[in-house]
């Protein structure tokens, strides 16, 4: 283990040192090839211009290379693989897509994903907004927000263990040590194996993600609410608006843009949700989702890359509208820069 720590530190030094050496060295080299000092006036101007042409590429070069290898090439390759067979050797046309839409697990995953998309972003945004508004009114609001924000730091696997403990079921006659079943029993209900109830188990898994992500929505929306001019709210109070009218008719419309950002961010997260399903049910009892199904096909029986890639493409297609919207928003904002 000591050797591992040592090698990790060594690699950090090599890696960081290498980066520094590259940027510093490449920059020095450019200055040497096109010197701007100690040469005649026109030559210096020419060389400065040439430096200006090359230098930006030295700066963005490493990032571009890594982005190309790790994101751009894979997108193209995944698209290509989705038309090939399991080993990625023979062209099979649309066979993988045909398989997907006929496959029980895949259809189940699509339906579950739609369910997740309908519930989780809405629940997180709504709860986040409510908590943001409420905590703004009380003296211990900051502490409350910190505590609600806290699950955002917890891994999906850790959160799954936390909630699995809450959903824990013990056979009849045994003490229920899961909080949920204990509460149900206290009120005279019948303890259940919550995560194996088809259809409803989806909601028990969603609660975990909502529990994690509400803090995110709360923080963003809370800061947007602070941006609403005080006068607007005061005017509404003077006009006799009640708290609910102020919330729905003044606050929500004012921060509509931020709500959209929170909503889309969580939507993308939901499309990629994997860890929670893997650790809680691994797709059993009809709780499968696309990301976990894809992981399954990547390794099942040595791996079927064609089908795995096809599922990835389906996830990608769902993301594309958000991607286009993001780029257009960004272009609007940086247009003047």
Residues numbered 88 to 127 that lie near other proteins (CB under 8 A) are: 88, 127
Q: Which is nearer to other proteins, 98 or 155 (CB)?
A: 155
Cβ burial 172-185 (10 Å sphere, 16+ → b, else e): eeeebebebbeebe
Q: Is 206 in the site for other proteins (CB under 8 A)?
A: no
Residues numbered 14 to 53 that lie near other proteins (CB under 8 A) are: 15-16, 19-20, 23-24, 27, 31, 52-53
Distance of closest approach, residue 146 Cβ to other proteins, in angstroms: 7
Residues numbered 245 to 284 that lie near other proteins (CB under 8 A) are: 246, 258, 261-262, 265, 268, 271-272, 274-275, 278-279
Distance of closest approach, residue 147 Cβ to other proteins, in angstroms: 5
Residues numbered 282 to 321 that lie near other proteins (CB under 8 A) are: 291, 294-295, 298, 305, 308-309, 311-313, 315-316, 319
191: left (phi > 0), else alpha (psi -120 to 50), else beta?
beta
- Site size for other proteins (CB under 8 A): 126
The one among 44, 50, 78, 103 contacting other proteins by CB under 8 A: 78
Distance separating alpha carbons of residues 83 and 81, to the nearest angstrom? 5
Distance separating alpha carbons of residues 73 and 315, to the nearest angstrom? 17
Q: Which residues pair with 91 in a beta bridge?
A: 84
* Interacting span for other proteins (CB under 8 A) from 107-115, 188-196, 198-206, 210-218: 210-218
Binding mask of the shown chain, residues 127 to 146, with x at each position contacting other proteins by CB under 8 A: x---x--xxxxx-xx--x-x
Decide if 129 contacts 217 (C-beta within 8 A). yes
Decide if 294 contacts 318 (C-beta within 8 A). no
Q: Which is nearer to other proteins, 236 or 252 (CB)?
A: 236
Q: Which is nearer to other proteins, 100 or 291 (CB)?
A: 291
CA angle 141/157/171 to nearest 5° reads: 100
Distance separating alpha carbons of residues 74 and 18, to the nearest angstrom? 26
Cβ burial 199-229 (10 Å sphere, 16+ → b, else e): eebbebbbbbbbbbbbbbbbbbbbebbeeee
């Amino acid at each position: 283990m000591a050797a591992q720590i040592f090698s990790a530190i060594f690699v950090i030094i090599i890696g960081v040192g290498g980066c520094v050496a590259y940027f510093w060295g490449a920059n020095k080299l450019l200055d040497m090839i096109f010197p701007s000092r100690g040469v005649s006036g026109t030559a210096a101007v020419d060389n400065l211009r040439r430096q200006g042409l090359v230098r930006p590429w030295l700066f963005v070069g490493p990032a571009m290379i890594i982005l190309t290898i790790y994101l751009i090439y894979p997108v193209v390759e995944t698209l290509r693989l989705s038309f090939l067979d399991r080993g990625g050797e023979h062209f099979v046309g649309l066979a993988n897509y045909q398989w997907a839409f006929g496959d029980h697990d895949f259809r189940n995953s699509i339906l579950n994903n739609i369910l997740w998309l309908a519930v989780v972003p809405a629940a997180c945004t709504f709860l986040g907004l409510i908590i943001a508004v409420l905590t703004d009114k009380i003296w211990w609001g900051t502490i409350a927000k910190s505590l609600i924000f806290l699950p955002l730091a917890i891994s999906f696997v850790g959160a799954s263990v936390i909630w699995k403990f809450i959903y824990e079921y013990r056979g009849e006659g045994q003490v229920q040590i899961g909080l949920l079943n204990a509460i149900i029993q206290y009120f005279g209900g019948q303890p259940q194996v919550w995560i194996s109830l088809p259809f409803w188990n989806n909601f028990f898994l969603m609660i975990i993600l909502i529990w994690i992500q509400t803090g995110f929505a709360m923080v963003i929306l809370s800061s947007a609410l602070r941006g609403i001019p005080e006068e607007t709210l005061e005017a509404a109070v003077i006009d006799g608006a009640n708290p609910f009218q102020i919330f729905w008719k003044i606050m929500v419309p004012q921060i509509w843009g931020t709500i959209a950002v929170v909503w889309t961010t969580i939507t993308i997260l939901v499309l990629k949700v994997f860890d929670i399903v893997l650790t809680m049910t691994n797709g059993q009892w009809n709780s499968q989702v696309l990301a976990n199904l894809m992981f399954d096909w990547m390794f099942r029986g040595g791996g079927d890359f064609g089908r795995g890639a096809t599922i990835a493409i389906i996830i990608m297609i769902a993301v594309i509208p958000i991607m286009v919207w993001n780029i257009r928003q960004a272009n609007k904002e940086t247009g003047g820069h």
